[in-house]
Amino acid sequence: MSNRALITGITGQDGSYLSEILLDKGYEVAGIVRRSSNGKNLSRIDHILDKIKLYDGDLLDSSSIEAAINDFKPSEFYNIAAQSFVPLSWSNPIMTTEITGTGVLRCLEAIRKLSPETRFYQSSSSEQFGKVRETPQTEKTPFYPRSPYGVAKAYGHYITVNYRESYGLHASSGICFNHGSSRRGIEFVERKITDGVARIALKKQDVIRLGNLDAKRDWGHSKDFCEAMWLMLQQDTPDDYVIATGETHTVKDLVKIAFDYVGLKWENHVVIDPKFFRPAEVDLLIGDSTKAREKLGWSPRVSFREMVEEMVASDLKALSLNVN
C-alpha cells in the first residue's frame, strides 16, 4: 500500500511544490480546498489535478477536516494552510487567529480522534521569533511575535507540541523562514518586487511603492523547504526544526538583484511609502538550521540570487504572454 498524504493549503506555493515532491515519491496525494475556490485558485496545481484528489473543506470547519481524514485515511497530514499575509493580520486579527492558530487545533483533534497513527506536519514560522532574543535563531530561541499572525503561529506551534506530548502523536513543526519562488503570492513583498520589476522592464508601469527596505530576512526557495517538511515525517521520533539558509539579506538586496536582472537602476523606480511599514517591525531574522542539516540530512540548494532571478524571469514571461 502506498503512502497517502493529505495537505491543507494544497493550492498555495508550498502545497503545490509539496504535492509534486510526494507524487514523485509514489504517494497518493489529496488536498483540502475551501469551497470558495475557483479555477484561478487552482492554477498552481492545474498540471497535477488528474493525479490528486480534492476535498471541500476549511480550517474553520472541523467536520470537513474529519470527513476528509475518514475518507482518505492519510498516513501523513501536512498543515500548510494559513492566513499568512502578515499585514492583513492587523486588520483581520480574529480571522487570522481562527485560521492560522485554532485551525491547527482542529486538525490535531481530528487526527487524535480518528487517525492517531497519522503523522502530522505543522508549518510554523520565523515570525514567531519577532523581536528576536538572540541571533541567529534556533529551535530553543524564545518566541516574541510582533504581529497577530506571529502570535497565531506561536499558538499553532505550541498546540502541536502539546498534542505530541499529551497524546503521543507523531507531530512535528518546521519553523520556516522566508521562502519564495515563481509561485509566491502577489501580495508578498518578494513577489510584489519581482512582478513590479517585470512590469517596469516591459514599460507597463514606472515605479514600485515599498516600505522598509532595511528589514533583514533569511530567504530560501519553497521547493527546498518542502523537501524538509517531508523529511521530518520520515523520522522515527517527531521533533521541531528550524528550516532556513543561514544567510540574511535586506529587502533592498532583493530589489537590487531584481533590477540588475533587467538592466535597470532601482533608485529610479522605487518609492518609499509609509503605508507599507508595519505597526511593529521585525527587523532581523536569520535561522540556524544545524539541527535539520545534521538530523534530517537537509540543506538548501537554491541560492538567494537564483530564487530572485527565477521569479523575475517567470514574471517577465507571464506578463509577455499577457497571463496576468
Which residues are identified as catalytic?
A: 125, 127, 149
Please give the Cα distance from 200 to 260 (Å, whole number). Answer: 12
- CB neighbours of 94 closer than 8 A, spacing ≥ 6? none
Please give the Cα distance from 261 to 201 (Å, whole number). Answer: 10
Please give the Cα distance from 156 to 313 (Å, whole number). Answer: 35
Q: How many CA atoms lie within 13 A of 312 on its CB side?
A: 24
Q: Count Cβ neighbours within 10 Å for each residue of 50-66 and write b for 16 or more, e otherwise.
A: eebebbebbbebbebbb
Q: Phi and psi at residue 249, in whole multiples of 5°?
A: -140, 145
3-state helix, strand, coil in the chain (%, to 5): 45, 15, 35
Q: Where are the alpha helices (DSSP H) in the chain?
A: 13-24, 62-72, 86-91, 93-96, 103-114, 148-167, 189-201, 222-232, 251-261, 290-291, 304-320
- CB neighbours of 120 closer than 8 A, spacing ≥ 6? 76, 77, 79, 107, 108, 111, 160, 163, 169, 170, 171, 172, 233
Q: Phi and psi at residue 100, in whole multiples of 5°?
A: -80, -30
Please give the Cα distance from 282 to 169 (Å, whole number). Answer: 33
